[in-house]
Amino acid sequence: MKKTSRRSFGKLMTGAIAALPVASLSARANATLRTNERTATAMPANRYHENTPPPVEINDGSFAFLVKTPTQTKPLNETGSGPYLYKGKVDGSTDNNIEHIKILHGSGEWVYRDLEATGSMITIELQDYDNGRAGTLVVSGDTDAFQVLSTGYGSGNANGQLSWSRENGRPHYKHHFMHRGGPGNKEFRVTGIRITKGGATTLNLALPSVSANNPFESQGYRILVWLRD
């Protein structure tokens, strides 16, 4: 299947968000950012996370979750037959609750941050170039396990099953869980990111095309997720 280039999820999202006026972010999202800025000042222990590599990244390209662990063992076990659930304890974290979420613009500036993200759920919507549904992924965590639920909208490679590969290295092994797209073997991209916490929506972001001439141009966003130490 032809997919977007593997540049960085940041790039899919950055261009899309860059195309939005600041005012297009919901008032609630802006309020959340301001609240989290204050929280960062009040919670210096949690700010330490910003100086450490996150164990989970959501990246551009063919769309992949990158999970970093100190061991070679596949960190998330697959169950189901559509939707597929990827769940497991991430080695190196004593508690798999999501504690800190940060979304970075391709320029390196952050556009969303929650230092007290326990109980958060991240929903990512994928669409193809004809605005057809290509996939929905829901990211969450709790004390026992980190998990990704992947729903597809077709058969074969479009069923939402993620392929897994490992990149060896030190001090971490990088485990890639790649999305394979939707029906029709069409290019796809991220079109929406929603974050909820405690039943409240803290971010609800629609990502329009960056350019009519190249609607899948990648520009540079990354979603970074830290788990509780």
- Decide if 195 contacts 116 (C-beta within 8 A): no
pLDDT at 10: 41
Q: Is 15 helix (H, G, I), strand (E, B) or coil?
A: helix
- Going from N- to C-terminal start, the domains of the chain cover 9-206+219-227
pLDDT averages per 10-residue partition of the chain, 229 residues: 41 40 39 41 49 82 85 94 94 87 81 93 91 94 94 95 92 93 88 92 84 70 86
pLDDT at 50: 63
Q: Within 10 A of 117 (CB to CB), how many other CB atoms are there?
A: 25
pLDDT at 11: 42
Q: Within 10 A of 144 (CB to CB), how many other CB atoms are there?
A: 12
Closest CA to 61 of 183, 173, 155, 187: 187
